Amino acid sequence: FYLCPVGGRKGGGCSIAPGRRAMGSLCDGSANEKGAPVYESHHLDSRKWEKVVPRKDDIIIATAYKSGTTWMQQIVAEILFQGKEKAGTVGDMSPWVDLRVPPMEFLAPVIEGQTHRRFLKTHLPQDAFAPYITSTAKYIYIGRDGRDAFMSLQNHYEKANDAWYGAMNSPGLVGPPLPCYSEAVASVPEWFDKW
């Protein structure tokens, strides 16, 4: 997976060669009306942050793929709820804002309707969502050794089902369709070397 580097062109956007693609991602250097770069891939759409109504006590859990995101969401839930009954699953309590599916028309009311302190998930760099949150929001960033993240991603990708591929390759897809694991990976060591 590839996202544009932070600190691209003046006014936002990417500093990579125009039209460069990697593993289904597309970075064309565009920015939105607030100057935030637009990040899109088969998984992500940074423009969904435009519909989030910020709260002063939001917690943003920003992680690289497969780097302990769900683990950190659960830790934050335990701290916030302090042993009390939680408001659903980790995904219910801490929605992934920039996941391309479901559409924001569905997700925005869910996020806005949360009555507990919100902790929102993202896999985007800060420049993509910072214009849409308050200066008092808290950030948690998690990093992980790339080799470990790769093995976790490989396992996740291999276990995906037809419904997941259908959602990722649904209308609104940016770039080429995400191929099934068996079509994309002839050899895990070879795939690792490319990654």
Active-site pick, 42, 43, 116, 123: 123
42 is catalytic: no
Residue partners of 37: CB distance under 8 A and separation at least 6? 4, 8, 12, 13, 14, 29, 30, 31, 46, 127, 128
Positions annotated as catalytic residues are 123
